[in-house]
Amino acid sequence: MTYQKETEINTMVIDATFWVAVSFIIFFGGLVYLKIPQKINEILNKLILDIKNEIDESEKLRTEAKILLDNAQNKLDTAQSVSNEILEQAKKDSDKLVIDLNNKFHKTAEIKKNLAENKIGQMKEAAIKEIKDASIQISVDSVKKIITTSVDKSKLDGLFQKNLDETTEELKKINS
């Protein structure tokens, strides 16, 4: 009986293994019949192609982005260069303006100084003229007084001549 049991067990194991093998073959046969591996292959190929297209597209976008970045960097560099030039020019212009304003101030001050000196000179000349006029008037008045108070004509002529000479001397000293 042991032999018979072993045969039955072997038959059952063979039978179960056999049926698993048969169902495995039928399953793969069904897959091949329904062209599932080809469809899976097509789907995978399509996915691979889509991924390649996306990679190519992203590579194009990356290249375009790099070009745009380079252009933007060039524009930024140019703008910084231009702004530096503008700042330098503005600094030069402001320095020049300060120098010009300083020169104008000094010229104006010099003109005002010269005008004041001229005015002082004119006032001095006017004062000297007034002093001369007053001294002439005093001399004339004193001569008149002497003439009117003096009795002797010879004394009068001598005194007149003396006063005239003194006045002339004084006028010459003032004019010098």
Q: Which tens digit of pLDDT belongs to each residue from 116-160?
A: 899 998 998 888 888 888 888 887 777 677 666 655 666 667 777
27-42 b/e (C-beta count within 10 Å ≥ 16 → b): eeeeeeeeeeeeeeee
Q: pTM for this structure?
A: 0.39
17-29 pLDDT, tens digit per residue, is 887 888 888 888 8
